[in-house]
Structure formats: C-alpha cells, structure tokens
C-alpha cells in the first residue's frame, strides 16, 4: 500500500491565539524509531498527543497507514471523523505518558488486562496470561498483584509500557517517559525500550531529553523549535554535525547541562 505508516501533512495547531504547530510535515516509515527533541513548548509533545487523538488540529492532514486520522470517507468525500472511526484508528496506536497514568484503584495485573478485555473482548484467563507474559517481559511478573501506589516510578512506567503493549499497537508513542523519574530509575525503563526496539518491528516515536539514548536508539532524530521541524537526520549526523544554528545552540545547552551524547 503505502510505504509510510504515519504522514503528517501541513498540520497546524493552535491553542487560542498561540500557534503550537506550524505547517508541520514529516513522515514515518513502518518500524522506524524516531526521536523528537527540542526545547519545551516546541510542539513535540503536542504532535504525539495529536496522533493519540488527545488533541485536534486546525488544518492539515494526518494519515495513519494511508488512512486519514481525523476524517473519514463518506460518499466519496472526506468528512470529519466520527467516534467509531477514531476508535478504529486508535487500535493501531499506543501511548506511554510522562506521569505513567496508571489506574490507582486496580492492581498491576488488572491495569494491564482491562483494555484488552473491554476493547477486544478477550476472555479474562487469556488476558491474564498475556498480561503475565508482558509483565515478565518488562521484569515485573512478581508485582502482578501489587497496587500502583506500592511501586517505584520506574516500575510504574514499566507497567504502563506493558499496559500499552497489551493492545498490540503497531505504533508506540513515548512522551518523555523518563523525565519524571529519579536518575537511578531511568535506565530500567530505557532498557525495556531498547528491548522493544530490537525485538519487535513496532514503529516507535519518542519525545525525550535523554540525548545519549536518542543517539544510540533512534534511526532518525527530529529537532523541533517553535512548532516547526528545524532539522532532521540520522543521530550521528544531527548530534555531531548539526547544520542549523538553532540546533547547535540547543545541543550546546544540553551538553553544558551535563548530558553526554
């Protein structure tokens, strides 16, 4: 069909009078690992949230697997998508949030089994079996009956990843998933992501401030500034030899703040 799994075509998004995405254009190939970096407010989290249908856009088109996200075909023309269409599109996308967003009133296992049982009609026994496999994958099989409040930040985030994986999305979005963690807990989450990257063919988009991880992990890095992509390229090129001065200034600040690349 198409050789791109995500197509962002001249997307503009505004919050009131503030334009947060300006005529944004980029594409993602299936299985690609993309890192989105840039200063805060540059729009990189917004584009991720928009892909997850948590935000709407003012103009432009977003296509997932060739199909428009916010529009649908009706009698040969495109009309605004209804909830059924959005529901169908969302099955392809999963998201992990900076603040984990686990369900505090459910144990770890129930957090992971809830969505497959409700949205895909999976039977409880099957859902629990699959959930235990995923928890094992992220190294938390022994915490299946624990409540989220009993877990550390790194453990909560790994549960959140398992929960998103339970729906078998083709695209996984990671929104600054280690930014809220104590430094010593960051690595356990990054290693799960590394494992996912090397053992699956999922398309992964991550907004991150972990530059050395982005450098090692990503196929391509996009530098965002003020709602536009200023520069993009393979990590080797972008991190060591950025052409744009805004990229250079940003990377200089990051290195000065102590991040090794």
Give the separation between CA 117 and CA 125, rounded to whole angstroms.
10
Distance CA 206, CA 157 (A): 14
Q: In Å, how far are 55, 58, 153, 225 from 19, measured between CA atoms?
A: 13, 10, 33, 12
Closest contact distance (angstroms) between CB of 114 and other proteins is 6
Tokens read off for 129: 């079996």
Closest to other proteins by CB, 112 vs 221, is 112
> Site for other proteins (CB under 8 A): which residue of 33, 50, 97, 221?
97
Helices (H), the chain: 44-51, 83-90, 108-120, 124-137, 153-165, 183-199, 211-217, 235-240, 245-256
Q: Could you tell me the CA-to-CA distances from 71 to 12, 53, 56 in Å, in that order?
A: 15, 12, 11
Q: Closer CB to other proteins, residue 147 or residue 261?
A: 147
Which of 2, 91, 212, 240 touches other proteins (CB under 8 A)? Answer: 91
Strands 77-80, 203-207: pairing kind? unpaired
Please select the residue that binds other proteins; options are 21, 57, 64, 164, rule is CB under 8 A. Answer: 164
Phi, psi (5° rounding) for residue 235? -55, -40
CB of 92 to other proteins, least distance (A): 10
Q: Closest approach of Cβ 228 to other proteins, in Å? A: 25
> Shortest approach of other proteins to residue 94 CB, angstroms?
7
Distance CA 44, CA 128 (A): 35
Which of 25, 79, 118, 249 binds other proteins (CB under 8 A)? It is 118
Work out the number of other CB atoms within 10 angstroms of the CB of residue 29: 14
Query: For residues 137 and 167, which CB has a smaller minimum distance to other proteins in the complex?
Result: 167
Return the C-alpha torsion angle 14, 67, 81, 167, nearest 10. -90
Instruction: Report whether 96 contacts 160 (CB < 8 A).
Output: yes
CA distance 189 to 167: 19
Q: Work out which of 19, 27, 41, 107 binds other proteins, going by CB under 8 A.
A: 107
Size of the site for other proteins (CB under 8 A): 26
Regarding 121 and contact with other proteins (CB under 8 A), the answer is: no
- Closest approach, Cβ 236 to other proteins, in A, equals 32
Determine the Cα–Cα distance for residues 153 and 62; give it in Å rounded to an integer.
Answer: 33
Q: Which is nearer to other proteins, 161 or 192 (CB)?
A: 161
- Closest contact distance (angstroms) between CB of 125 and other proteins is 19
Residues 24 to 83 in contact with other proteins, rule: CB under 8 A: 52-54
Residue 87 binds to other proteins (criterion: CB under 8 A): yes
Pick the closer one to other proteins by CB: 80 or 234. Answer: 80
Interface stretch with other proteins, choices 68-76, 84-92, 194-202, 217-225 (CB under 8 A) = 84-92
Which residues of the shown chain bind other proteins in the complex (CB under 8 A)? 52-54, 87, 90-91, 94-95, 97, 99, 101-105, 107, 114-115, 118-119, 147, 149-150, 163-164, 167
């Amino acid at each position: 069909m198409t050789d791109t799994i995500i197509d962002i075509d001249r997307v503009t998004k505004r919050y009131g009078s503030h334009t947060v995405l300006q005529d944004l254009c980029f594409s993602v190939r299936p299985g690609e690992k993309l890192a989105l970096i840039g200063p805060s407010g540059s729009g990189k989290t917004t584009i991720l949230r928009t892909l997850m249908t948590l935000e709407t856009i003012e103009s432009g088109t977003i296509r997932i697997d060739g199909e428009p996200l916010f529009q649908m075909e009706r009698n040969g023309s495109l009309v605004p998508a209804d909830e059924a269409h959005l529901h169908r599109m969302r099955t392809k996308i999963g998201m992990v949030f900076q603040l984990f967003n686990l369900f505090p009133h459910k144990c770890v296992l129930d957090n992971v089994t809830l969505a497959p049982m409700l949205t895909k009609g999976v039977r409880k026994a099957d859902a629990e079996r699959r959930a235990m496999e995923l928890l094992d994958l992220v190294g938390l099989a022994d915490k299946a009956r624990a409540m989220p409040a009993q877990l550390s930040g790194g453990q909560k985030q790994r549960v959140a990843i398992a929960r998103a994986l339970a729906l078998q999305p083709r695209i996984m979005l990671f929104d600054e998933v280690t930014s809220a963690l104590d430094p010593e807990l960051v690595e356990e989450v990054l290693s799960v992501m590394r494992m996912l990257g090397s053992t699956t063919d999922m398309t992964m988009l991550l907004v991150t401030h972990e530059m050395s991880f982005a450098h090692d992990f990503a196929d391509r890095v996009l530098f965002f500034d003020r709602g536009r992509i200023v520069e993009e390229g393979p990590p080797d090129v972008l991190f060591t030899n950025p052409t744009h001065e805004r990229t250079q200034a940003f990377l200089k600040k990051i290195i000065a703040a102590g991040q090794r690349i």
